Structures are given as structure tokens and as C-alpha cells.
A = this chain, B = another copy of it.
């Protein structure tokens, strides 16, 4: 959940045209509302755990971003929809002032959902007014950031609703239709890479978050990367082999989590009638053994890799492999909203499913790139302050917007987090 693009190259960055900006703004706002369409006011109001937020909060907070960082400082005469929202929908910007405590987001029945939609319309209207005129490149960059920020929350709307619905004994479906394709199982192959000193991080003029910068050198030793993520079926074998009972497979903190939290399988799995089932955005379903496993923690990913005698890739290894692979795959646009089995890909010379399906845990602790500097002001609070005790995930998932995925994108979560669509891909040394 990174933020601010900070182009440190000496040359000025071309201003995104006003029309392009407006189009991407309109698109992202419409997409967010489309995601909320199947949900009732009550669905949107509840918070199922401190890590998750109510959908209503996501709808409001993404709007707050444009009001606080674009309209309030840059649009003369702009009247805030409701001054109280400045505190109520602030996520964690200490610089902006007070904020409503995160674990209490689920206590806010008012403003109701209809009011939040009015708030969105109010801000959308003002944004359209603003974008009738050219905007300075700095402001354009903030708007572009707001659009990318809202995409992040689109993904969270789906992961958070999934968690909420999973806690309901009726296991309701977000989208009953189940548009999954026929399975073509694919054997796992290994792709080798020579070691070298190389450049990593974002380098071109398109948007990136500040944590992808600056581009810098790092040395990578020779390695191999698996042709696809680990599957539900493979992970079930790990369980059958007593994986959750064998401390020697686990990081010490990981086995503590197993014991303390009672983990016996990935999140959302249930064993019924001699088979593993899992909760999806389409309701409960038997696991598809060929689909990439998801909703596992870093600890489970790491233990699985140790069990098969492999390891997680570093984020640099992953980036080196993904760099030349064209985007595309099972992202939110396919409507599957669940990882899909490997399909047999056009170009078998590169690993498949790098983009979409599941976020892939890497072994890299989330840390600043050498020379990293956060953006100035409140927007700079976005990424740097979270660079501790979290691990990097790469590649996007089945609920990520397509335009939000790229080879240098760094997602990050604490090692015990499981409610994201997080899986793993194996790596190993070449000696």
C-alpha cells in the first residue's frame, strides 16, 4: 500500500494531459462503485476484524483523499461536504491531524451509506470542475496518486468483504455466479537465471509508488524459479504430511502462530466429508487442486517451501524474472475473483501466472531502497513508516485491477497476515 511517486531523475516529467487524468479519475470512481453494488447498507457498515475496514469506510476514505489533498488546498472556494469527515475518514496521516481509531471503524452507523454516496458525488462534481482547466504537474501527480490509491482500496473492498462474509454462519456469496474455466493442469518446471549485478526498481516515466524508487543496483546470485505458483492440491499434501505439527519446518515465530492461533490449514479452509472446502467470493466450494493456493501467511509459505526443499524467492529474483514478461492474467477484470489453474501459456520460455491470481510472498523484508526518500508532507507518510516487520509480495492477485500491476510493484504485509489473496512460488539456488 505504497504512495507517492517521487521522480528523482533530473529531467522534468511530462505532464499527464488533463483529459487523460479526468478519464482515469472517472474510471476508477465508477469501478469502485460497481464493486459495492452487490452489497447492502449493512454489508457496507460492518468491520470483521481490526485489520479490515467497512466498505463504507473505503468508499469514504478514497473520497477523503481527493478532498484533503486535491480540493481543499487547490480549489478556491471549495466547501467541504462535512468538516467532521476530515477526522472520521483519515486513515493514518498523523500530519493531517486527529484520526478515528482504526478498530472502531465498525462503530459508525452514521453517516449512512446513502450519505457516503452523496459525499462521493459532491467530490466527484468538484473534481470535474477542477479538471475543466489545466492543472500544474505537481497537482496532476497527486491526482494520479489518488487514482492509484483508490485502486488499492478496490482490492481491499473485496478482501474485507470476503472476510466479513466468512464470519457469517450462512456463508453468503458476494457474487453467486461462478465463471471458472475448465482445468488444464500444468506440471511444475524450473526456469534458470544467471547471477549478475543489475538494476532494480522503477525506471520509466509511468506512475509508480515511492517505495519502488530509486532505481538502484543489487547483486543476484544464480537461481531457478518455478513455472507456476504452488497449488491448493500441493498444499493439501503438506497438511496431510503433518506440516502443521512439525516445528522443524517453521520459523520460530511461525510455529508460535500455529500454536497460538490454532492454524491447521490456510484461512477459509474447512474439512467436510473427507474433502477440503474453502470459502470464496462465490460461497463455499471444494478446493480445486490445480488452482494456486491462497490466503496463506508468510510463515506458511516459508514452511511449505522448506518442506519441499526449496525456498521463497527474493524480491529481486522475482523482479528479474518478471521484468520482460508482458502483463495480463487472472486479475479482477476476469470476474473469477479466485485464483485459476495454470492455463498453458503462450510463451513457455518464461514462468507463468506471475501477474494476477495470487500475490506471491518473497523472502525480502520490506525495507527502503538505497537512497529512498519519502515525499514531502502528509503524502510522504504513506510508505516509509511501514518499513518494519513486513514482507514484500509481488505480482498482484485475482482481485487486483489490471492497470495496478507491474513488475516493480511492492506490496507488503506482516508475516502472519492471511486475509489477502496471498500465495507463493518456489525458488532454489543453482550451485
**Residues of chain A having any CB pair with chain B under 8 Å:** 40-46, 48, 56, 84, 87-88, 92, 94-95, 100, 104, 106-113, 164-165, 167-170, 172, 197, 216-219, 221, 247-248, 250-254, 298-299, 363-365, 367-368, 370-371, 381, 385-389, 415, 429, 431
Contacts and interface: CB of A to CB of B under 8 A. Distances in A.
Given A221-B370, A385-B251, A43 B110 contact: yes
A406 B253 CA distance: 28
B371 A389 contact: no
A41 B40 CA distance: 9
A174 to B, nearest CB: 11
A247, A364, A385: most-surrounded residue (chain B CB, <10 A): A385
Total copies of this chain within the assembly: 4
A46 B48 CA distance: 11
Contacts of A110: 40, 42-43, 168, 170, 172
Given A40-B112, A247-B94, A250-B385, A46 B429 contact: no
Contacts of A219: 197, 217-219
In the A-B complex, the 10 residue pairs with the closest CB atoms: A365-B365, A94-B247, A42-B109, A42-B45, A43-B109, A107-B167, A252-B385, A389-B389, A251-B388, A41-B41
A45 B109 contact: yes
A44 B250 CA distance: 33
Given A168-B109, A219-B218, A367 B371 contact: no
A371 B317 CA distance: 14
